[in-house]
Amino acid sequence: MVEKIAILMGGMSAEREVSLVSGDAVNEALEAEGFKTIKIDVGQDLWAQLSRADPDVVFNCLHGEWGEDGRVQGVLDLFGKPYTHSGVLASALAMDKHRAKIVLKASGIRVPLGKLVERKLAAQKHVMRPPYVVKPNAQGSSVGVYIVPKGAKHPPLDIAMNEKMGALVLAERFAPGRELTVSVMNGKALCVTEIIAHTTFYDYEAKYADGGSSHIVPAKIPAEVAKICMKWAEIAHQALGCRGLTRSDFRYDDEKINKKSTKKDIVNKIVMLELNTQPGMTPKSLSPEQAEATGMNFRQLCRWIVEDATWPR
């Protein structure tokens, strides 16, 4: 019987503040559901923190490095108590965008053309023909993303100074179109949301600042497009070995799409950008919004995630 839940939050990544918000929201929901909770602001002494808390279940609300890249999951595997979301392998693989794309492409999912390059080289010259994107290979929440537009004479020079991106970065063909996302619970896609950013693109500010973006749930897109995105999200969840709740992001370029367009025409206008194994967890976050649209409120979603927790993952 689950009585006490440890909620991992905060942590040491660039997404610490977002994680704290998720953790507080989950804590409030689980307390309202009758669980005893303890919030853990994760540090390098996580093992000691968990040992002191002695929980029945660990609810992972961490984002970014250490929280969703397999390292914390390794500690949780050793700790031996049921925990939420994906395990070590799936977390590490999904966080590594370049290698995840290799798996997705092999599974029949269209992904943007991309390659790993040295960060300093990406600042010195074009590593592919513009337009393209340069971003960290192993971070979330659009932290440190640079768009190199068509006609640009050279890439942004400050890429070289942005050490938080890592020594190797991912250069990826820019995917135009509408921003779509699909959450998957226990292998089943919920619905499709369209994200309309009120900034240049769907960056960190658009995701988390008040008024940074609008969400249309469900997205007002052709049924065939929604069907493809939901199918690909389910395939990605399975192919990467994910568990629990995930969210997959897509771009759909509807320019030149009309009533005469074939299924092949439509498929060729959709690309999957990435899969997130630790979606944001506030009532207004994308995945909880989708759960709400399918009849599951935030408290019920948090309870489901707890009940889905197992060891090992």
Catalytic residues: 15, 141, 208, 247, 249, 274, 276, 280
Assigned token pair, 162:
């942005």
Cα(34)–Cα(306) distance, integer angstroms: 12
Assigned token pair, 36:
């005893």
Assigned token pair, 122:
């990406």
Using alpha carbons, select from 72, 104, 101, 98 the residue that is nearest to residue 231.
Answer: 104
Cα(137)–Cα(97) distance, integer angstroms: 5
Using alpha carbons, select from 125, 124, 169 the residue that is nearest to residue 144.
Answer: 169
Cα(11)–Cα(66) distance, integer angstroms: 8
Q: Would strands 188-197 and 57-60 be described as parallel, antiparallel, or unpaired?
A: unpaired
> Residue 282's beta-bridge partner residues?
none
DSSP string covering 233-282: HHHHHHHTT--SEEEEEEEE--TT--TT--HHHHHTTEEEEEEESS---S
Residue 62, CB-side half-sphere exposure with 13 Å CA sphere? 28
Name the one residue in this structure whose structure tokens are 């019987």.
1
| 213: amino acid identity, one letter | S
Assigned token pair, 29:
């929901």
Assigned token pair, 128:
């592919």
- If you count them, how many residues does the chain have? 313
Cα(283)–Cα(288) distance, integer angstroms: 6
